[in-house]
Amino acid sequence: MTDMTEDEIRAEVREWLLENWDPDRGLVEWRNMLIDSGWGVPHWPEEWHGRGLPVGMTPVVEEEFDRLGAVGVAKMGIRTLAAATILEHGTDLHKQRFLRSILTGEETWCQLFSEPGSGSDLAGAVTRADFRDGKWVINGQKVWNTSAHHADFGLLLARTDWDAVKHQGLSYFLLDMRQPGVQVHQLRQMNGHASFNQVFFTDAVVEPEYRIGGLGEGWKVATTTLMHERRGADGVRRYATGSDRAGRIYEEERAEVATVMAPYIWYPQRTGRADLLIERAKAAGRWDDRAVRQEVAKALTLARTAEWTARRAREAQQLGLPQGPEGSIGKLAASIVARACAKAHTMIAGPDAMLTGEDDGTGGVVAEILVSTPAISIAGGTDEIQRNIISERILSMPKEARHDTDRPFRDVPRNQVG
């Protein structure tokens, strides 16, 4: 399939859609047909539901879907990180068990990385996984876990060796979130949403075959997950919305979006909403203010250059190049853009930026932007972490001095006793 031209691909997917697309099918039925055809994820290997096409041909396929209004496979949320991680590091058992249900949307996922006592120091995780009676037994706590309250499975990083150095004592697991040993509590955010959760494990169990990667290779696997997450944080993405078209499949898709994507409905606001700046400045009568125009121009310039940088990273992805530290550049740029936009929105709105609901002419959007933008500098790795990655892996600068990587982890001072 890899030697097909763009025109040949376009013609073949168009013919397949014309023969098979029916908006009155069930959503899962349709997605199973897509998976069997390979057109749902055409860049995946043929043996794992794809067609082995170059990543750069995926937009060609998506254009034909959009032309007809055809629904694609489930791609949004943590499930995309799960699929990418399983494809790269999983066994055949993992791929057989999980990839299809990820693509149909029948099973949802969450990411179980961050902990209360380690903050941005992901490698300092102290949630423990002990091998007892032929199974991994999990005890500990995770936090800031998007969608954990409705997830079926979690991507779990846990410590399996306390005598190894920090980064080498971690392992990566695929954990059943529906078992009795897992308790999930939603956290209310200052923007009024409750996307995040804290998760407690009390003798939760993972079967040995659901460890992904080798024993002690959790950091390596987690790095893959994080690189995909950071590449998705660059701002050049579409947030899933249900179509208003008629038909059973659209109705079921709208229901899916309303449930699965609910935790993400404020994500556009955390980017700073550069797209609203000119509109809001004119509506508020501030467009003639030179200082306001200067801040708007600055924010829009940053947003556009960040978009170009992100698109270069996407081009590399489409050429089939592996995930690399360039995702950290996009992640850091997104934070800088969000802060610039928040400053401009504040200048435009003035004291009215504190109004919400019916008192605010924007329906509370500006206030939500201002309380949501700090999140983009934290989620997926703080700005400080991204700067370290850029300086060390891209600019080849000396690493910062560390005093916790040359001794067994049990001897490393930390905020929380393991």
What is the residue-wise DSSP string for 146-193? TTGGG-SEEEEEEE--SSS-GGGSEEEEEEETTSTTEEEEEE--TTS-
The pTM of this model reads: 0.85
pLDDT confidence of residue 324: 63
Beta bridge partners of 202: 139
pLDDT confidence of residue 234: 44
Pairing mode, strands 153-159 and 109-112: parallel
Pairing mode, strands 196-206 and 128-132: unpaired
HSE on the CB side for 102, CA within 13 Å? 26
pLDDT confidence of residue 316: 67
Give, in order, the Cα–Cα distances in Å from 122 to each of 83, 112, 135, 159. 21, 11, 24, 11
| Region of 272 on the Ramachandran plot (φ > 0 left; ψ -120 to 50 alpha; else beta) | left
Q: How far is 270 from 256, CA to CA, in rounded Å?
A: 23
Render each residue's pLDDT in the chain as its tens digit; 418 residues. Answer: 567 889 999 999 999 999 999 999 999 999 999 999 999 999 999 999 999 998 888 889 999 999 999 999 998 778 999 999 999 999 999 999 999 999 999 999 999 999 998 777 888 999 999 999 999 999 999 999 999 999 999 999 999 999 999 999 999 999 999 999 999 999 998 888 888 999 999 999 999 999 999 999 999 999 999 888 766 654 434 445 667 888 999 999 999 888 887 888 888 898 999 999 999 999 999 999 999 999 999 999 999 988 887 777 667 666 666 656 667 888 888 999 999 999 999 999 988 888 877 777 777 888 899 999 998 888 777 888 889 888 988 888 988 777 777 789 888 877 654 4
Nearby residues of 289 by Cβ (< 8 Å), 6 or more positions away = 347
Long-range contacts of 333-336 (CB under 8 A, 24+ apart): 333/234, 333/235, 333/302, 333/305, 333/306, 333/309, 334/233, 334/234, 334/235, 334/271, 334/306, 334/376, 335/376, 335/377, 335/383, 335/386, 336/302, 336/306
36-57 burial string, b = 16+ CB within 10 Å, else e? eebbbbbbbeeebbbbebbbeb
Q: How far is 229 from 84, CA to CA, in rounded Å?
A: 10
- Distance, first Cα to last Cα, the chain: 51
Q: How far is 290 from 278, CA to CA, in rounded Å?
A: 13
